[in-house]
Amino acid sequence: MSDLPGQISVREVGPRDGLQNEDPVPTDAKIELINRLSATGVGRIEAVSFVRPEAIPQMADAAEVWQRISKAPSVRYSALVPNLRGAGRALDSGLTEIEAVVSASDTHNRKNVNRGTEESLDDIAVIIDQAHQRGATCQVIVSTAWGCPYEGDVPVSRVVRVAGRAVADGADSISFGDTTGMATPRRVRELVGEFRLAYSGVPLNLHFHNTRGTGLANVLTALELGVADFDASVGGLGGCPYAPGATGNIATEELVYMVEDMGVATGIDLAAMIDAAADAEQIIGRQLPSQVLRAGPRTRTIPA
């Protein structure tokens, strides 16, 4: 295990990706959650997305949330944008890190943003330019990177080609999203391997779901491949829109629990993250899937 990265950078996506897939919550609760997360030691937070309020009412208050949160100097905040209009709003709001998203699978992209993968990539080239012109960075998220809920398998070559187009257009980094939890250790190895062969110098972030239980096994595989940037969601906030009752994002505190035990630093205070997960559970009003939230860290003993 000596080849593992000494530290990783975790991006907390609960406030955006998590809450976007839950029933809407009050603006104040979002702000409070983000502020709590900012105090856990996490290095990155995906705070909001600038999407059409009619399409995603959960994020209708994005500009207000962004304005009112306490921005910790140690945290890099980002916003997801689905299109040019969203990018403009994010940059106008003062974001300096945005994420543009495109699905590797054409069907999923059409369902999501009503256009094909290539059309989205054309838009993303413009978004990247706009971000750079305004001094911001732009990560391109390639979703359905390990499979599409409509099409099934998506060829690795296609995923790498989509990412490569974004790289050629100036993306500052790539994130592969396991949108519906179809990644497995073998497939992580394949995609990361192929991407690295073609684009060894490009920063790579991975976004796993635990929809089929392999979330942390996928992280472990990626760590062994030297990947050091991961998304996770406090408490496992989010769920999966394609499988009612199924789990979505890997839980941040589970990720921290596992990798810190392996000597991989996250900068995150596990107890503080578990507390934040308990808060998230209160906000949402349902039990979140995080196991570490239920059982506590392994050092929690009971009186004999």
Q: Which of 270, 266, 271, 273 is nearest to 9 (CA)?
A: 266
Closer by beta carbon to a second copy, 73 or else 300: 300
Q: Which residues bind a second copy (CB under 8 A)?
A: 1, 107, 111, 147-153, 180-182, 184-187, 189, 210-217, 219-221, 240, 242-243, 245-247, 251, 254, 257-258, 261-263, 287, 290-292, 294-299, 301-304
Residue 53: CB minimum distance to a second copy, A: 26
Report the alpha-carbon angle 147-150-152, nearest 5.
Answer: 35
Closer by beta carbon to a second copy, 133 or else 299: 299
Query: Are 117 and 166 within 8 A, CB to CB?
Result: no
Closer by beta carbon to a second copy, 136 or else 182: 182
Tell me if residue 266 falls in helix, strand or coil.
coil
Say what the alpha-carbon torsion angle 19, 24, 27, 29 is, to the nearest 10 degrees: -60
Distance of CA 299 to the CA centre of its chain: 28
Closer by beta carbon to a second copy, 70 or else 287: 287
Query: Are 207 and 13 within 8 A, CB to CB?
Result: yes
Residue 180: CB minimum distance to a second copy, A: 8
Residue 108: CB minimum distance to a second copy, A: 9
Active site residue 240: yes
| Strand segments (E) across the chain | 9-12, 44-49, 76-81, 97-103, 137-143, 173-177, 204-207, 229-232
Residue 246: CB minimum distance to a second copy, A: 4
Alpha-carbon span 182 to 303, nearest angstrom: 41
Catalytic residue among 124, 148, 166, 240: 240
Closer by beta carbon to a second copy, 135 or else 285: 285
Where do we find the tokens 């296609």? 158
Residue 110: CB minimum distance to a second copy, A: 8
Catalytic residues, which ones?
A: 240
